[in-house]
Structure 1
C-alpha cells in the first residue's frame, strides 16, 4: 500500500496542483506524505524542509536535470534547505528557462504565423508551450513535441544544464537525501545506475509506460546500499499511482 508519493509537480513548474490543493489530493489517494519536486525550482511557499499541511506531511524537494557523460539524467533532492549555492543555481536555471522559453515561442510563432497564448516566465517548460500550440493550431499536444519543439525539431532550443558533479555537490549540501529519478527512462539505464555510487537513493517505484526489468535497479540498490524512493511523477491531480509503502517510507524518513 502506497503511503508516500515522493515525486509530485505543482503549478510552480509544470504541474496542475497548487500547494494548497495537495492535502485533498493526497487524502483522496490514501497518502500520508507527498514530496513536492518541481523542475529546477524551489517552491516559494515552502520555507522548511518538511511541513504539515492539513494533516499531510509535505517534503520540500526539487527535480534537477544534470549532464552525465553522454546523457542527461534527473536527480531528486529531498528535505531542501535554501543554501546560497542552491539558490544561485536555481536562479541561473530559471533565468535560462525564461530566455529559452522566449526563444522557443518566437520560433513557433514564426513557424505557425500566429501568436501563442503563453508568456516567458520562470518555471516555464515545453509542456506549457505544447499546450499553447494545441490551443491555436491543428497540432495535438504530442504532435507539438514530435514535429515542432521536441529535441532536434525545428523550434527546439537547448537549455542550460549543470554537470552531474555540480548538481550532486549542490544537492548534497542542501538536501537530506539525493536520489536518481526514473532510471528506466534513460537511453543507457546501466550507465545511469552507475551514478548511484555518488547518491543516497534510487527511484525504485515509478509508473513507466511499458514493462521494465527491475533487476538492474535491485542490483544497484544492493551494490551501493541505496535507499528506495518512489513516486507518481504527477503533473495532474492524481497521486499515489506509485510511491513507498510504510516500511520503505519509515526508512526514508529516518535518513531524511
Structure 2
C-alpha cells in the first residue's frame, strides 16, 4: 500500500532521542506506505547519511533535516531545517554548540530530579538511551524512560506532565540560541526553515514574528495538534505566504505508548517536500552569490 505521494516531515532516530535507528525509521516509513520521510533529529544531522543510504536502497525519498532547540522569552521554540549543506563547517560548528547546551541542560535536569528525592543516576539515563548497542545524544525522553524503569512514573506523558515538561517540577532551561538567529543560521547553510508544532507554545504573537522575519514554513499538521490548531495555523501560513508542512514527530514507542505519534500519523503531499527543496536551493544560490 502506498499513501498517495505522502511525506512525513518530522521524525527522530537514535541519533538523538528516537527509539529506532535511521535505517529502521526509513524502512518503517516505506512499510507505512509513505513516499518520503524526513529525518529531523534534535540538534544533529548525524543520522542523515545512514538514512539517505537506506532510502536509496529501498527506493523511498529521504528528506535531510534537523530540529534546532531555541528559546525566546523563556519559551522553548523548535525550528526545523531542511536540505541544509551538511558539509558546511560553520553550520556543523553551530549545531555542535547547540548540542553542548543540551549536555548542560541534562546535568541540571539530573541534579533537579535528585533534589526532588528521586534516586536517578546518569547511568540510568544512559541505559535508557541505549538502543541496539548504539547511543545517540541524550534527551528528555531518555530521562522519561529511566523514570518509568525506576517506577517513578507510569508512562512518557506522565513523566513530561509531572516532571520534565514546561511547568514540571524538574523542568530546567539553559541559555540557547534565539529562533531568529536560528533562521539566519539555516538560511546561511542553504536550508529551508519551518517553525515546529506552534500549538505547543501558546505564543502566537511570537510565531507571527518569526513568520514575518524569514521563516519559510509553519508545521500545521502535528500529532499534538487538533482541528482547531490546524485551522488556526493554516490561516497563519496563508496570511504570511509560507509553506504549510506536517509530520508525526515520531520517536518510537516506549512502554507501549507512541511519543508523540505513530509514523505517518501526520503527513503532507509530496509536493510540500519538493517545495522545501526548491526554497532551500534558492537560499543556497543566494548564499553562493553573496560569497562571490
Alignment-derived partner of residue 37 in structure 1: 40
Contact (CA 8 Å) 1:34, 1:59: kept in 2 or not? yes
Once the two structures are TM-superposed, the CA of residue 205 in structure 1 deviates from its matched residue by: 2.0
Report SS of the residue matched to 1:72: strand
Report SS of the residue matched to 2:174: coil
Report SS of the residue matched to 2:40: strand
- Once the two structures are overlaid, the 10-residue window that deviates more, 47-56 or 197-206, is 47-56
Alignment-derived partner of residue 15 in structure 1: 18
Alignment-derived partner of residue 94 in structure 2: 89
Q: Does residue 100 of the first structure (1) align with residue 114 of the second (2)? A: no
Once the two structures are TM-superposed, the CA of residue 44 in structure 1 deviates from its matched residue by: 4.7
Contact (CA 8 Å) 2:83, 2:191: kept in 1 or not? yes
TM-score under structure 1 length normalisation: 0.86
TM-score under structure 2 length normalisation: 0.76
Alignment-derived partner of residue 244 in structure 1: 268
Report SS of the residue matched to 1:39: coil
Report SS of the residue matched to 1:118: helix
Query: Partners in 2 of 1:218 and 1:109 — Cα distance?
Result: 42
Q: Does residue 140 of the first structure (1) align with residue 145 of the second (2)? A: no
Query: Partners in 2 of 1:13 and 1:156 — Cα distance?
Result: 19
- Contiguous gaps of at least 5 residues in structure 2: 130-134, 254-261, 281-292
Of structures 1 and 2, the one with the larger relative CO (CA 8 A, separation 6+) is: 1
- Contiguous gaps of at least 5 residues in structure 1: none
Q: State how many pairs are aligned.
A: 256
Alignment-derived partner of residue 118 in structure 1: 125
> What is the root-mean-square deviation of aligned Cα atoms in Å?
2.8
Query: Partners in 2 of 1:178 and 1:218 — Cα distance?
Result: 17
Q: Write out aligned runs for 1:153-164 (5 A).
A: 153-164=168-179
Contact (CA 8 Å) 1:81, 1:175: kept in 2 or not? yes
Q: Does residue 68 of the first structure (1) align with residue 68 of the second (2)? A: no
Give structure 1 regions of 4+ aligned residues with deviation exceeding 4 angstroms.
Answer: 47-51
Structure that is richer in helix per residue: 2
Alignment-derived partner of residue 27 in structure 2: 24
- Once the two structures are overlaid, the 10-residue window that deviates more, 195-204 or 113-122, is 113-122
Report SS of the residue matched to 2:228: coil
Once the two structures are TM-superposed, the CA of residue 53 in structure 1 deviates from its matched residue by: 4.3
Contact (CA 8 Å) 1:4, 1:32: kept in 2 or not? yes
Among 239, 246, 249, the residue aligned to 1:223: 239
Alignment-derived partner of residue 174 in structure 1: 189
